[in-house]
Amino acid sequence: MDIGEIIIGAAMKVHTELGPGLLESAYEACLAHELKKLSLDVKQQLPIPLIYDGVKLDIGYKMDLLVNDSVVIELKAVEKMLPIHTAQLLSYLKLSGYRVGYLLNFNVVSMRDGIKRVVNGY
């Protein structure tokens, strides 16, 4: 099973248990727990520096989850996913140098409707 399938399966499990309507931080903690139970390496709230004009600026960007040092996960608990949410994940991928990310919105009736895979083509 590939890492994307594992992430989606874990997200679906969390959503089935909790349902919609909670804060993003609750889904983040539970998803991190599920992924760790599956023996994946999970880092939470990992800072992403911005390099501007050759200067590294720590301005507060943080990716919600980084799985196996390869996949960025951005979690949402919003009524509707907007293009700005995809743009945020794509920016995080560009700034961090990672290629693949998942945008997961837990505020949906069916988790299938809250999953978007994003690939940075560099």
The predicted structure's pLDDT at residue 81: 95
The pTM assigned to this predicted structure is 0.94
The domain spans of the chain are 3-119
Q: What is the pLDDT of residue 46?
A: 96
pLDDT digits (tens, 9 = 90+) for 95-119: 999 999 999 999 999 999 999 999 9
For residues 112 and 59, what is the distance between their CA atoms, to the nearest angstrom? 33
Q: Per residue in 36-80, pLDDT tens? A: 999 999 999 999 999 999 999 988 899 999 999 999 999 999 999
Contact 81, 105 (CB under 8 A): yes
pLDDT digits (tens, 9 = 90+) for 6-23: 999 999 999 999 999 999
- Architecture (CATH level 2) of domain 3-119: 3-Layer(aba) Sandwich (3.40)
Taking residue 29's Cβ as centre, other Cβ atoms within 10 Å add up to 13
In this predicted structure, the answer to whether residue 122 has a pLDDT above a threshold of 70 is: no
